[in-house]
Each structure stands twice: as C-alpha cells, then as structure tokens.
Structure 1
C-alpha cells in the first residue's frame, strides 16, 4: 500500500524505538549473545568467522566484512531490496503503528488503495478455493499434466476463475466490495457504451501477481484449450498495478535469492517457467508479464543482485528477446552491474528442460550463462557477411555504435576494448583459415608440430615481434599484417600468436607477463627467446620508424592473391615481381639511412 510522500522524523524515531533490531535481524541472521551485543555471520558476504554485530541499546548493526552498517530500517532496505518508504511501511505494520496521513486527500488515497488491496486478496482466495472445488476439475488436470500438484498450488497460490460472466463479481460483492472497487482492481470489465460489468477472467488457471511486499495486486490467467485466445491474459493497468513495473514472483524470488551465492535473479519468459524453476529448487526465478523487459523491471532486478541471468528459449524468438533486452540494458550498465544470458538449445524453455532432463540439467545450463558482451558480439558478428573490407568496417561501426549507448565512461571504454579485441581475433582466424585453404592448393604451410632446435641459424622475424611487444601500439598499427605473416620458426610464430590474442585477456602487453604465460604453457624456448633478446629502443607512434617496422614485417606476409606485392614467405623471396623489388629497395634504403645516422651519432660521441 502507498505511504505518504514524507514521514515526520518523530514517527521514524518512535518506530525504531519500538522495534528491537536483534528481533528483526535475527530472522535473517543467526545471532549469538556476546556481552552487550549480538554476533553472527554476515548476510552480505560468504565469511566463515563472524564479523556481524547488532547492538540493541544503540539500535544499530555493523558488518565489518562488507562495511555495511546502519539502523534496522537500512538493514531491511539492504536485505529485502526495499526503498526507504517501503521499509518503513513494513516495519510499521510489524510494530502496529499506523502511518501518518498528511492531508485529507492523502487519507482518502490511502484508504482507497487499501480497499483495492483487500479486493485483490479476496479474489485470490476465491480463485484458490474454486481450483479445489468440483468446477476446477479441468484446471487441476491441466496443472497436474504440467507436473504441479496440490503442494505447488498452495506455494504459488494458483487458482481457477469459473467459466461464467459474473461469478467472481457476485462473490466479491457478497464480501462487501462495490462494483467500482471491483472494476478499479482490474477484476471486471465494463463496455464503453455502459451496461453491467462482467468478470475479466473466465475459465482460466489463475496466477496471482504480487508487489515488492508480496501483496496481491493483479492476476494472470492462462487458457487451458490449445486454441485459447489469448493464451495468457493479464489484469489491465490499475492504481496498484502497472505491468511494466512488476515482475512475477519478485518478492518470493528475492527472498530465495538471499539464501544463494548467485549473482542475480533468473528471468524467464513466462509464469510456468518461473514456477518450474522454483519447484526444481531454483527459487530465485521471476518473469516479466508478457512483454520485453522495461527499465523499471531492470531496476528491480539490479536491486536484488548485480548480475541477473536472462533465461530464454534458444529459438529465433528467444534470440530476439535477448537482443531487445540488450538494447534496453546498455545505457544503464555500470561497474558491477550487468546481465548474463542462458539460451537453451533445441527450442526448449526451462519448464520443458526440467521435465525432460531434470533439475540438474537446468542448473548446468544456468552455470553456462554467458555475459551480455558475448551475446552482443554474436549479434553483430552474425548480422551480415564480413568477407570484404567494407563489411568488416561495417561490423566495427555497429560494435562501436552499440558501445556508445553505455552512459558509464569506464564501462563504455571497457566494452570498446573488448569488442575490438573480439573482432580482431575473429578476423585473424578467418584470414588464417583462408591462408590454410590457399596453402592446400599448392605448397604446405610451416608445420605447427615441427619443433625447431635452438641451433637454428636465425630466428627470422623475432626482432620485429619483440619490437611490437616493447611498443604495443605497433600491434594495432600492423594488426592485419601481423595476422597474415608466416614465420618458419615455430616459437617466433607462437610469440606472434600470443600478442595478437593477448588484448582479449584484458592484460597489458609486456615481456614479463608474456614470458610467464609461455612458461606456464610449456613454451620454454619461446620464453627464452623473449628473455634473452636485447631491450628495444622506444618507437614513437606515427613516426617514420613505425612505418619502417611495418614495411619490414610485410616481407613475411603469406604468398596469396590478397597480397598487394604478390606475397612472400619469410625466407623465400625469389621470383619477386616489380612491386616486390620496389619494396625491397625501399627497405634497404631506409636501413642504410638508419645506419648512417647511427654512425654519425657514434662519431659525435667520440668527438
């Protein structure tokens, strides 16, 4: 029910004085008396030694493991994800205190909403009763056919709306509710031209919808006939209920979530999926009410946990729902606040999977949920072919356009880096596959398993690779050429592969980190080559040395039709066309000029 916009400070202080914090907190935390305080394990972290303290005299709590502390109101806000007003109202109900009403209009609104809550609750009880009556035979058979017995009916307060035009209305009127109250509760319908109202829900299985406090505010009705239209029917928007601001099972899911180590609530597409998960022991599942997730619903999810999992069918419709959710969520991503996706295979929904393969199969599917960035990348990657430079540029533009919707600058920058790294890695894999197909037509590529000995006369290309390691901007500058280059020494090729894929791991490119990585993977010779190579002078971005490095690297580009110089294969530079001779001459000229500059510098030092 609604609370006034502002509650006097005196009321809040009296409320806190009437409630002993250890009583309220003790319902969620197992407390032991220790001197003047109560001690227990933190409800906010997974600690093994108690560091959570409650002091009834000071009316405060303090959790040293998480740093969270405050009074009993803030504890309820934190653990139940309630707003300040919601927490005050909940505790006032427990303390037997009536919330103050600022004006006559506020009092009238408060009383009217209270009656609407009572009307919805009376209807819920009536529907529950009808499910168990003789007229609920078909509904009971339907629910049992979906694997839900009497225990589940009670846990989820499932019911049945009689297949009659005014049975529900007449029942509620017998309980003292007026036609207007029944209509404003969303339980009846009246035609625009007038006439007697009639029941909104008729001949349907009923799912009560509750608010964040667990009070019934609306209903969903499911038709039992295969051709029922609509299959699902929700209450219309009322003073209590707005379908874009509510999640089915939110209160129960949030309570269950408090007993898990998960990162967030699980979002399913329908009522039955959320119930099936709950009955399978996965109680922190909710469902939107037949529409794509709204901003308000995302806010509810993030109030409960930082990383909700959206569990959709793995068919085309499920993918579309996932993509819509991405668009809605991108602007609101922040550090520690995102979404994960679990897309089930075979077009199954959670209810199907649980009934077919059991709860463990569902838990394994949820454990394999992927982050939002992965689904975003797949969406743009698969939007169209990327077999030309123009289409590749289009892919990059789409990825950056998606990242641009993120308001938080740190998260936006992280997404841009991650998406670029995924794109570069994917394009590299495509080029490598193309090169392998080219080699298969004539001439074999260097064999990856043919380990060369340390006595090889020269590890050609090593210096160029290490220059890129010591000057990471070269990797972006020459990424395509690096990707297309072929190095006959396997360990030089390994070093190249590492620096191309390294940015995707989110780590800085430096010798020590790469050397440790190589040693961990057993590439000891590659690690030694990197360790023993002399330090490289710094190469400035956009300078002449940067271009010279790229020109030198181009001699290792694999020979295929895509090379503007007719290709090359590292050591094999025979049969060069005119363009290759020109390139070779340019490289030699630049090297000679660099040698002359070095000689002049040494002479100046001697003088």
Structure 2
C-alpha cells in the first residue's frame, strides 16, 4: 500500500471491532482467563508474577510492569517494531479487510505489489521443497557440514535453487504468474541484448529475505561449486526490495530481542553467521546484505534497541567494516543511541567461534564488546606514530574532526571531552614509560595515597597533592570549597591550579584533569599544566569514608600551618592524625579563621557604604 494513502475515518475502528485482542496478543503471550480479563507475563520485562492484562470488552491491554498499554494496534507496533501503517496493514490482512485505496493508481500499485509478494512466497516454497528432493543432496550435505539440522532449515526456510536455466520460471508460470511478474520479483534475468529470460538463482543454497512484516521479498543464494562466481548472489533491487534498506532476519530478531536483556540487535556479516547465532541462542542476530551498513539499516537497528552490537571478523577486513560503520553512525548519535563493537580474534567469524568453542565463548565475546568511542580512539591512535608534537597535534585534529560529525550538541561535547582525556592519558603513559622509575609515585613531591604533606616534599610545591586529590575526587570540592579558596600555596603555579579548580567548580563546568589542564594552557601557564599532568593518577575515594576524613584533616592542618607561615612551628613533617580531638581542634581553628574573615569583609563593606 502506498504510504501516502490516508485511512478513511472509521476504518481503524471497524478493524479493531473485527479483531479480538486476546486472539492476537495470545499468539505472543500465554494468557489465562481471570474474570472478565486475560492475564499473563509481560512480554516487555522479565517479570516472575503476571501483571499483563487484556480486556476484550474495552479492546485494550495494560502491562503494569512496564507501564505500556493501548489497543491491539499499539501492541503489534510495540512487539514487532512496526509503524502504524504497517501494523494496520498486518491486522487488516488477518481480518480479511481490504485496505482503502485513495486513487485508481494506488489500487493498481497495491495489487501489483501484492502479486509480487505472492510470487516471492511461491518461489520460497518451491526452493524449500527442492532442498528436500533428490536434486538437493549436495545442498543438504553443505548445510549439514555447517552444523545445521533439518529443523534449522525449516526455522530459517532454507532452500535450494535447481541447477537449471528455467526450472524456477516454469514452476512459477504453472502457478499462474506471468513472465513480467517473475522478472519484476527479481527471480528471472534477461540479457541486455534480448533472448529468453532465465532463472536468476541456479545451483545455490537459498536464504529467503523478508521485510519488517516477515513477508518474503527477495533471496540470497550461496554457490555450491568452489568456482561459483559470485559465491553469494542477492536478488536485484525491485519494487519490494532495496538491499540497503533491509536486514536479513530483521523481523525474527526484533521479536527475539523483546525477550533478552541485551542493549540491541547483534549485527554480523553474513547469512550463515546470523543463522549460527540464532541457533546458538542469540535470536536477535541480523546481517546486512553484503554491503557496509547504510543509514536506513542503522535506523532499523535503533528502532529495535538503543545499542546494537556490530560483530565483525577480527581481521583487517573486519576492522575496515567497523571503521566504515563508525563514519555512518557518528552524525546520528544521540543520548541513549550508539553502537558497540565485538571484534573477534584470529580471523574468526561468529559461525567459526560457535562451532569451535561453543555458545559461551560467543557470549563472552559479546560481553566484552567495545563502545564506539573506544574503537574510534583506537583507529586514530594507531593511524600513525605520535612521537612528536606535530604528530600529536595531528592526532588531536583527527579526533576533533570525527567528533565534529556528531550533530547532537550534548553527545558531540561529551565525545570531545572523552577523546581529549584518552589522548592525555595515553601521552602521559608514554612519558611515564620513558621516565622509567622517575615516574613512579613518590618521586615528584608528595605520595598520592592520603594527600597529606609529608617529609621529603619540596617546600614550594607543598599542597599540590591536596589539590590533585580534590580534582580526582571532585565531591571533595563540594565539602571543602571555602577552605580551598582561603588556602595559601607558596608556589604560584600550584596556586594557579587551585584558582582554575575553584572557577571551574563555581561555573559548574565539570572538574577533571583535562579541563583544568586545557584552561591552564589557554592562559599560557604551561608549567602549572605540566605539574598537574605529571602528578601520578590517584584512585577516586568514596564519599563519607575514612580516606575522605584523612583528606579533610590534612587540608585543615595544611591551612592552619600556612597561616602562621609556610610550614612554621608546626613542622613540615608532622604526621596527620585522625583522632577525634585533633579533628575538633582543627575544625575549630578553621571555623575561627572563617569567622574572622567574615568580620573583616563585613567591616570593609560598611566602609564602602559610608
């Protein structure tokens, strides 16, 4: 049916009146009669107790575990991921209702498309039959050699196209289809110079390709002879089929996905991989049709789930396919909509891995899938050496150009921050490895664990560890902002780090090493940036824990010492204590200092007013 056809008023209501919701929904949910309603387990969540209700009188369903509800059309749209028009068309077929036709042209188009669907279905049934006949012996041996039983053939409607020039054509003509219809369905070919049409698929294992409603619209054929060219052959584009807009097994995968906890469909490279995954328990597997993923196919994936996993062979060709997919996806990323990548090792594909190591090995590989940002980072990091400032600048430029393709401003900003952070961490690790033992913790001033000033720290950079601790555990800033603001730092570059830390926190720009370092560099304060970047990474500490208390004590003791002169009579090497008495004393000292500062500020403001 043409997508521009408007459904007349009353048609949808008549359609719903002809269909009993419990009959349609009962095909997907095991329902039990309970009074005037039917009850079952939710198809949308993994609940243990039934909270899914169907009411035939009101013609509605309600799932209390997920909050989803509506009429039978909404149920079909939700469970099969169909558009409204697709759901109406599916239910109208079941109800025996003729879809409305706005014009004679629409009616002609609809009738022609219906005949093409019927022609493809007849061909599919014929191929299935031939697989089980004497002429399908070689095809059966091939499928059995790939680990597929007769049950799998039936589940995936696999078939065999006889190795003859006109057998399929003659069969379809015997079923009442014209030569024009057979050719328009993509089942026959005619040379450009003329001559009699001949079968498109000959001597091949057949994989039927369906649309989002599950109707056969095209075929893929795998040659059985070693010299078959091409090894895989797809239907040509037709009125029903455009290979860049379809995914193999899409309808079955969408329905299987509804019963999994995964983030999205699994995308593999070929028919056999998708079937192998499905037979191993990964029913939400699909495959593109021999091409890189298109925008239309990405749209189909995201309609089914927010984070599909692209599973590629772990060889150079697989990496190239992953990189092409990244370029397609970047402009369309949104909050909650991305891609993950499962890159298999040793040049294996999912079919190989499952047959050699079993489904659990495949499951483990999927559980270790990489997010898109990680694969993007590796692609640019490994593109060339980054051992000079110029090459490092080139890496940053490539990363930012990739992030610039993202249209959503929030996701774009998040990618820019993440990629810059990965680059900084990688370069720091490179420098650390070159420094050898000189880069070990404790070699540059303060040791990281507690963040307290201790003996052996160069006096000028005392306090740097306290600041870095706050940067690496930003919640510390919230509970000690005033104290950090009032603290004195003898080294001007350490003080500059503190100033940027405070301004970033107050401006709610987010606090991490990368943000502060970039701000320092933009000010021209490269020494402060280097001080911060070269300080060893400090694990983030948990709120309200003993380490947080240690840090607060160290900070207040530091401030108290600096007030009476940098490391005055208190002594630079005094141990930090966390006793209740020490805590109360230090807290009292800082509170007194804050009160004194507040009184001075109030007096100054009074002078200004006078």
Q: TM-score range by the shorter chain?
A: 0.7 to 0.9
Distance 1:453 1:185 in 2: 73
Q: Does the CA-based 8 Å contact 1:431-1:484 persist in structure 2?
A: no
Pick from 554, 564, 588: which aligns with 1:529? 554
Give SS of 1:160's match: strand
* Shift of residue 481, structure 1, vs aligned partner: 5.1
Q: Deviations over 1:262-318 (max 9, x none)?
A: 111100000010011111111111100000001111111111111111000011100
Tell me what 1:547 maps to.
none
1:55-94 to 2 correspondences below 5 Å:
55-94=55-94
1:456-467 to 2 correspondences below 5 Å:
456-457=454-455, 459-460=457-458, 461-467=461-467
Does 1:497 find its partner at 2:529?
Answer: no
Q: Deviations over 1:412-449 (max 9, x none)?
A: 11111211211121111112112217789xxx957999
Q: Deviations over 1:460-496 (max 9, x none)?
A: 5342344464543544335875785499xxxx96xx5
CA RMSD after TM alignment: 3.4
Tell me what 2:381 maps to.
381
Give SS of 1:221's match: strand
Give the TM-score of the pair, scaled to structure 2: 0.78
Give SS of 1:341's match: strand
* Shift of residue 534, structure 1, vs aligned partner: 4.2
Tell me what 1:99 maps to.
99
Tell me what 1:541 maps to.
none
* Shift of residue 531, structure 1, vs aligned partner: 6.9
Q: Does the CA-based 8 Å contact 2:446-2:454 persist in structure 1?
A: no
Taking a change above 3 Å as real, the CA distance of residues 93 and 434 of structure 1, as seen in their structure-2 partners, is same
* Shift of residue 533, structure 1, vs aligned partner: 4.9
Give SS of 1:346's match: coil
Does 1:350 find its partner at 2:350?
Answer: yes
* Shift of residue 62, structure 1, vs aligned partner: 3.4
Distance 2:218 2:561 in 1: 70
* Shift of residue 525, structure 1, vs aligned partner: 5.3
Tell me what 1:396 maps to.
396
Tell me what 2:249 maps to.
249
Tell me what 2:276 maps to.
276
Tell me what 2:426 maps to.
426
Does 1:286 find its partner at 2:286?
Answer: yes
Give SS of 1:9's match: coil
Does 1:366 find its partner at 2:366?
Answer: yes
Q: Deviations over 1:235-265 (max 9, x none)?
A: 0000110000110111111121112111111
Distance 2:282 2:270 in 1: 15
Q: Does the CA-based 8 Å contact 1:243-1:289 persist in structure 2?
A: yes
Tell me what 2:156 maps to.
156
Q: Does the CA-based 8 Å contact 1:466-1:530 persist in structure 2?
A: yes
Does 1:21 find its partner at 2:21?
Answer: yes
Taking a change above 3 Å as real, the CA distance of residues 410 and 3 of structure 1, as seen in their structure-2 partners, is closer
Q: Does the CA-based 8 Å contact 2:172-2:182 persist in structure 1?
A: yes
Does 1:477 find its partner at 2:502?
Answer: no
Distance 1:448 1:227 in 2: 70
State which drifts further: 70-79 or 462-471: 462-471
Tell me what 2:138 maps to.
138
Tell me what 2:5 maps to.
5
Q: Does the CA-based 8 Å contact 2:309-2:342 persist in structure 1?
A: yes
Q: Deviations over 1:208-233 (max 9, x none)?
A: 11111111111101112233211111
* Shift of residue 102, structure 1, vs aligned partner: 1.9
Q: Deviations over 1:125-163 (max 9, x none)?
A: 111111112211211111111111211111111111111
Distance 1:458 1:272 in 2: 65
Distance 1:94 1:450 in 2: 70
Taking a change above 3 Å as real, the CA distance of residues 524 and 370 of structure 1, as seen in their structure-2 partners, is farther
Does 1:516 find its partner at 2:542?
Answer: yes
Tell me what 1:540 maps to.
none
Distance 2:453 2:284 in 1: 62
Distance 2:313 2:181 in 1: 39
Taking a change above 3 Å as real, the CA distance of residues 532 and 96 of structure 1, as seen in their structure-2 partners, is farther
* Shift of residue 34, structure 1, vs aligned partner: 5.1
The number of equivalent residue pairs is 521
* Shift of residue 61, structure 1, vs aligned partner: 2.9
Taking a change above 3 Å as real, the CA distance of residues 299 and 126 of structure 1, as seen in their structure-2 partners, is same
Does 1:316 find its partner at 2:342?
Answer: no
Give SS of 1:345's match: coil
Give SS of 1:262's match: coil
Distance 2:560 2:235 in 1: 72
1:28-47 to 2 correspondences below 5 Å:
28-33=28-33, 36-47=36-47
Tell me what 2:567 maps to.
none
Give SS of 2:463's match: helix
Q: Does the CA-based 8 Å contact 2:77-2:84 persist in structure 1?
A: yes
Q: Does the CA-based 8 Å contact 2:453-2:558 persist in structure 1?
A: no
1:182-261 to 2 correspondences below 5 Å:
182-261=182-261
Q: Does the CA-based 8 Å contact 1:428-1:483 persist in structure 2?
A: no
Distance 2:276 2:556 in 1: 57
Q: Does the CA-based 8 Å contact 1:39-1:53 persist in structure 2?
A: yes
Tell me what 1:117 maps to.
117
Give SS of 2:160's match: strand
Does 1:175 find its partner at 2:175?
Answer: yes
Distance 1:253 1:451 in 2: 50
Distance 1:329 1:450 in 2: 41
State which drifts further: 10-19 or 102-111: 102-111
State which drifts further: 293-302 or 427-436: 427-436
Q: Does the CA-based 8 Å contact 2:453-2:463 persist in structure 1?
A: no
Q: Does the CA-based 8 Å contact 1:467-1:536 persist in structure 2?
A: no
Tell me what 1:306 maps to.
306
* Shift of residue 53, structure 1, vs aligned partner: 3.8
State which drifts further: 457-466 or 377-386: 457-466
